[in-house]
Structure 1
Amino acid sequence: MPSGIAVEKKKLKNPPLQLHYLGDRVLRQNTKRIAKVDDETRQLIREMLQTMYSNDGIGLAAPQVGVHKQLIVVDVEPDNPANPPLILINPTIKKFSKEICQAQEGCLSIPGVYMDVTRPQVVEVSYKDENGRPRTIKAGDLLGRCIQHEMDHLNGVVFVDRVDNSLALAQELSKHGFSQQAVKPVV
């Protein structure tokens, strides 16, 4: 179901929201469910989309802009104006595929760092859309990976926490000015 929230897919010189970066406590806090989807929520969605497009992202979670709510926006085709973004409010993964795959990930909160992460190939996710209607999506490939990556943010997990090669990770983080101490490996 296409999003009813219209935002032009373009870079703004001054995006409405400020990104938080690895090492900032705000990225490690758990989020709260959104009780009521209202105009305030839809305005936050618009601003998150504008901020995501302005920073060349394909996904953004509310904690990355300092908001402790279970809200993510995803657009794996930011260059395609005909492809609407996906808005997921209070998302829950219902099923993971047994098949796993490894692929490179990056994050707007850790600019310049790209590392391989292993995740389930396909996920089934239930969520509410921007009108508060319950939805379910089965997603694989880049979309499935992006949804899982953004959902991690809702639980205070950043993709570098899932990187297996700690030596390569330490080198990449150091090269881009981030501290290895900011990583909290997922066990």
Structure 2
Amino acid sequence: MALREVCLIGEPVLRAVAVPVAQFDQDLAELIADMFETMYAAPGRGLAAPQVGVSSRVFVTDVTWKNGPQTPIAFVNPEIFARAEDVVTGPEACLSIPDRAFDVNRPAWVAARWLDAHGAAQTARFEGPQAICFCHELDHLNGVLITDHGVER
């Protein structure tokens, strides 16, 4: 595992639509391990591959580790297939936009599907912080930043 440099706002990789993952190999496993190490060191709750300079549809999250046990999840080729009509607004920060926070509207829950690091299909419904984090990181895979739809605090 290795720490990777986090790309900052203004770097083109953060505005590109990331490429779907086709190979579930050692390179992907190393990327995911490096992303977790980088996220925890930052310290963050989520990190998308474009944030470490890799245009790949991968992100990692762990929304509980700062206040309790770790719950790391790696998402490969993730997508939302259902979402709440109810919207919650709350503060979000981003490792690629240091020292700034934005109030962002997010669905109260999302139903998602993705592949894990080994290529196995997964589905889950996320609420609260995990739903917010999932949406935030999925935005990164689509070249969208919180500056695009949030209000700076």
**Fold conserved (TM > 0.5)?**
yes
| Deviation string, structure 1 residues 104-125 (Cα, Å, up to 9, x no partner) | 0000000111111011110011
Residue 59 of structure 2 corresponds to: 72
Displacement of 1:55 in angstroms is: 0.4
Residue 134 of structure 2 corresponds to: 147
| Deviation string, structure 1 residues 73-123 (Cα, Å, up to 9, x no partner) | 000012367433011000011001111110100000001111110111100
Give ranges in structure 1 of 5+ residues lacking alignment: 1-6, 8-14, 173-187
**What is the number of equivalent residue pairs in this alignment?**
153
Report 1:49-60 matches (<5 A): 49-60=36-47
Report 1:88-167 matches (<5 A): 88-163=75-150, 165=151
Q: Give me the whole-angstrom Cα distance separating, in 1, the residues matched to 2:69 and 2:40.
A: 15
Instruction: Specify the code of the residue in structure 2 equivalent to 1:56.
Output: P
Residue 48 of structure 1 corresponds to: 35
Tell me the percent identity: 35
Of structures 1 and 2, the one with the larger relative CO (CA 8 A, separation 6+) is 2
Please report the TM-score for the alignment, with normalisation by the length of structure 2.
Answer: 0.94
CA contact (8 A) 2:63 2:71 kept: no
Displacement of 1:24 in angstroms is: 1.2
1:80–1:37 distance in 2 versus 1, CA, 3 Å: farther
Name the Cα RMSD after superposition.
1.5
Please report the TM-score for the alignment, with normalisation by the length of structure 1.
Answer: 0.78
Residue 48 of structure 2 corresponds to: 61
Instruction: Specify the code of the residue in structure 1 equivalent to 2:84.
Output: S
- Whichever of the two has the greater Rg, that structure is 1
